[in-house]
Structure formats: structure tokens, C-alpha cells
Amino acid sequence: MASTEPESSQTPPSAAENGSEPPNLSKKQAKKEAQKAERLRKQQEAAATAVESAEVDPFSGNYGDVPTEEIQSKAISGRRWTEIGSLDAELAGSTVLIRGAAQAIRPVSKKMVFLVVRHYVSTVQCVLVVNKECVSPQMVKFATGLSKESVVDIEGVVSIPKDPIKGTTQQVEVQVTKLFCVNRAVPNLPINIEDAARSEMEFKKAEQTGEQLVRVGQDTRLNYRVLDIRTPANQATFRIQCHVEDIFRRSLLSEGFVGIHTPKLVSGSSEGGAAVFKLDYKGQPACLAQSPQVHKQMAICGGFGRVFEVGSVFRAEDSYTHRHLCEFVGLDVEMEIKEHYFEVCDIVDCLFVAMFDYLHENCQKELDAINRQYPFEPLKYLRKTLRLTFLEGVKMLKEAGIEVNPFGDLSTEAEKKLGQLVREKYDTDFYILYRYPLAVRPFYTMPCYDDPAYSNSFDVFIRGEEIISGAQRIHLPELLTKRAEACGIDVKTISTYIDSFRYGAPPHGGFGVGLERVVMLFCALNNIRKTSLFPRDPQRLVP
């Protein structure tokens, strides 16, 4: 009689599945069997994942990569973006659209992920949580798979978290409803923005707890400058720099100055010495201008009265210090003098006090961003800028036990010490030192009427470092020729400059200041390369 029990369609379990090995299998064969089972398991997992992915996502239209054609100026949608820096508690409950870089991606689970999105100096925390209204597990997975620094568009609702957010500038969150990647960054960045933005205080705290943090060195920063300048401190630094240049222009325009542009290809040195970049100019020897000195004086001779220029300056000096560059932005001024070169000092006084006031009153957000990574004390300055003679400075140094040659220049160490002494005595970081020895000034500097060993010149200091050199110029061609020869300058190379004073020239003076150095010292940064967008020093020509 046939059995009434149905035949099983299943294969009997293998010995491996029962947890035991057949006694006749060698270790090598057992290993092969185990590998075969592992391959099978992975294939099954992959198949399960494929089935899951194939499932229709009802919220697939809420996320994804933006097609290339959509970012080729295809159409104007009329959508309105909100700046990340303007996200605050007043917008709570509002739906906003923001664009920024995905600075950090922190998955909590398959159903939740945090994104820190950055734009300029501002950052905000965005939250994706799986829900039945708009966010699917696939959307969370998409967000988790984004690479850092990818550019994203996020739509969501502003909310106020229960606890303060430590890692962002904005103290609100965005509950994400839509997420689109506009452009993906490479998966492995040469430097991490979060690492590049760390303060020295963070490293000290990490040392105390034994935590290992990555320190991004200066050369690495400069090699990948396009990433480095994305840090909030760097973004703020160059916005401060923009304001400094703008105030320089506007202040001088309000005082009757005219903006000019002088040539950067010149036939000879404008400052004396050999620190010039030489080149061939259609068969003629030429060089890059060390300053606009010659031509801004010629503009005064041409009847402009008061002129200024913002332009590149080139110095071929082998200076490897924290404050020297081979190319920097010069802010130059030249003006007629009616009676005394203190008229030039008055312009310096008004210009920089107005500049410092503006930065303190209007750039607090940027200053705070710099302060978070590079803490500094606010600059101290007087409403009427302090003026000391060179010999008064020498006397102060001597009383402090530092000997200085009264007919020489101040060393960097002496300048620093004098800045400290001035701060202690006069409570200011900003002052003018005038009447320098003639021997340490350029050939075109006017000697003092009562002592030809000294000159009608001045330097201006911030935090113990020189930022400005200025003086009354020699407008007498015979004396100018004599001084040029004494300084070793080939008069033939500057003949047109000297000749310009033979046709009637008013007494005049001026000054020059490096834009990068002003920003560096105002913000108390320790290296001028931090204030040069793509710095050029004796060893760097790229990027």
C-alpha cells in the first residue's frame, strides 16, 4: 500500500547547516565548504537588497541627483532660497529652501541621519527621519551615501531643538522634506574641512582626553587651498579684507582723492636695490614694479592733487618670514602738501580710525568666525592716533634695556618690544613713529630741514609690527638725482621720473600699506599667508 504522507520537496540539510562536519572531510575541504557557504550567504543578501531596492519608493521624487540639464540654465523656477546665516528662531515652523556644502554626514541608524550644511561662514544642522509623509528609508540611505563637500539643495521646516547645538553657527534645525545633490565631491578629500577648521583649544582638550585629532599643516592647506578657504575663519578673513579695501577707497574718495592705475611693467627699480623680478620686454630689460611710487608721484606732477591706487606689488626678496610675500596688494596714497608732511599723517589717522570703527561695528559675525578658530584680543586704538619721534622710540627702548642705533633702523624684535611698551604706557596698539634716519629710507625721501641725517618720514605700527611706510618726497630734480645716485640707482632708468619734476612740481608726500598685512595684524593672525588668497612666497608659485 502506498504511503499517504506527501513527499518532501526540500533537500535534507547539509552537515554544515546542522553545525557538524562529516567525519571524512579534511581541514582543507572543510575550509572550502565554509567559503562556499559564505559566498552563498552574500549572494542571498545581495538578492534581498536588490528586491528591496526594486520596491517602489512613494517618496522617490523628494531626493536624488539633479540631472545635468537642470543646472545648465534650463529655466527660472521662481523658487526662493534662504541664506543659511539668516536661519533663526523667528523662522520656526516655516518651510525654507537652502543650498550649501555637506560639511558633515552623521548616520544614526537606517532611519535617521544628520547633515551639517555650510554656506560662507554659517552652518546649520539638518535632520532626516523616516516618516509616513515625505521621508523613506531609501531617502535616508541616499543622504548617508553623499560625500562630504557635495553641494546640496535642501527643503525643510525650521525647528528649535531642546538643547543648544554645539557644532553649528545657527541654533535651529531643518527637518528635511526634500534633498537633492547638485554636484558630488570626490569620496576621499585630501583634507577634511572640519579638521582644517579646528582651533588650538580643541587640540589641547583632545590631548588631555587622549583623543587623536588630525592637524592640517600650512603647506597642506596651501596645496589644497580651494578646500582650505572654505573654513569659516578663512571665509571671514577674506570678507574682512574686502571691507578694508572698500573703506580705503570710499574714505579717500570722500577726501577728494582720485583712483588711478599705474603700470606694473617698468624699466628699472622704483625702490632701489636688486630685489626685482627681471624680464625681457621685447628686447629691452624690464622688471615688475616694486611699488607704484614713481608713477603716483608723476600723477601729482600731472596735476591730480590727490591720488590713490589698489594694485599688485612685486618683491623678489628671499624673505621667509611670517609677514613677507613676493606678491601682495598695495594700498598706495600720494597727495600735495601745503605746509607739512603731517598732513599725510592726518589722512592716515582719519582713514584707519574710520576703518577700525567700521570693522568693529559692521563685521562682528566675521570677526567671531575668525575668533572661534584663532582667538585674539580686539585692537586697541585712540580717537587721535599717537605720534612719537623715532628718537623717542629709541629712548623708550633704551630705558627698557634695549640698545638701538639712533641712525639705523629698528629690528623686528625692537619693533615688537616698542609696541609692547607703547601699549603699556599709552594703551594703544596703533601708533605713528616719525622722523626716521635718512640712511634707512628710499632715495626719494625728503631730508629734515634741521638735520639732514634724519628725514620727513614715518612708519605706522599695529600690534608692534610695521604696516605703513610714508614720507614727504623730494620734488627737486637736482636733489632727487643726487640721492638716486647715492643709493646706487642707474639714473638713466628713471630719467622720465626725474624729468617730470623739471616742469613745476608741488611739494607732496604719501604712503603705502599692504592689504594682507593690515588684515593679518588687525585680526592678530600669525602668518600673512592666512590673509593672501593664493599666496606667492619665495617657494610657492601654485596653486
pLDDT in tens, 427-482: 999 999 999 999 999 999 999 999 999 999 999 999 999 999 999 999 999 999 99
Average pLDDT, the chain: 92
Beta bridge partners of 436: none
Q: Which region, left, alpha or beta, applies to residue 305 given φ > 0 means left and ψ of -120 to 50 means alpha?
A: left
Catalytic one among 173, 271, 415, 466?
A: 466
Catalytic one among 441, 483, 517, 529?
A: 517
Report pLDDT for 27: 72
Report pLDDT for 15: 43
Catalytic one among 118, 295, 323, 463?
A: 323
Report pLDDT for 42: 74
Report pLDDT for 257: 98
Q: What is the rounded radius of gyration, in angstroms, for the C-alpha atoms of the chain?
A: 34
Spatial contact of 255 and 306, defined as CB atoms under 8 Å apart: yes
- Work out whether strand 386-389 and strand 112-119 pair parallel, antiparallel, or are unpaired: unpaired
Report pLDDT for 167: 86
**DSSP 3-state assignment of 278?**
strand
At 401, list the grid cell. 634695556
Report pLDDT for 16: 43
Scan for cell 586697541, then name that residue.
380
Report pLDDT for 103: 96
Tell me if residue 315 is catalytic.
yes
Spatial contact of 263 and 289, defined as CB atoms under 8 Å apart: yes
Q: Residue 293: which of 325, 266, 320 has the closest Cα?
A: 266
Report pLDDT for 274: 53
Report pLDDT for 441: 95
Omega into 22 within 30° of 0, i.e. cis? no
Beta bridge partners of 157: 95, 175
Tell me if residue 3 is catalytic.
no
Query: How does pLDDT run across 269-324, given as a tens digit for each residue?
Result: 656 555 899 999 999 999 999 999 989 999 999 999 999 999 999 999 898 899 99
Catalytic one among 221, 230, 306, 315?
A: 315
Catalytic one among 469, 473, 483, 529?
A: 469
Single pTM value for the model: 0.85
For the chain, domain boundaries:
63-183, 193-230, 234-530
Tell me if residue 324 is catalytic.
yes
Tell me if residue 469 is catalytic.
yes
Report pLDDT for 25: 60
Tell me if residue 323 is catalytic.
yes
Q: Which long-range contacts (CB under 8 A, 24 or more apart) does 380-384 make?
A: 380/423, 380/427, 380/428, 380/429, 380/430, 381/352, 381/353, 381/356, 381/428, 381/429, 381/430, 382/426, 382/427, 382/428, 382/430, 383/353, 384/349
**Amino acid at site 222:** L
Report the CATH number of the 234-530 domain: 3.30.930.10
Report pLDDT for 347: 98
Beta strand spans in 31-172 (E):
63-65, 95-109, 112-119, 122-129, 151-159
* Measured distance CA(357)–CA(369) in Å, rounded: 18
Catalytic one among 317, 343, 392, 465?
A: 317
Question: Which CATH number among 2.130.10.10, 2.60.40.3080, 3.10.20.600, 2.40.50.140 corresponds to the domain 63-183?
Answer: 2.40.50.140
Catalytic one among 324, 423, 536, 540?
A: 324
Scan for cell 596688494, then name that residue.
329
Q: Which residues of the chain have pLDDT under 50?
A: 1-22, 54
Query: How does pLDDT run across 34-69, given as a tens digit for each residue?
Result: 787 788 777 766 655 555 554 689 999 999 999 999
**CA angle centred on 257, ends 353 and 239, rounded to 5°:** 50
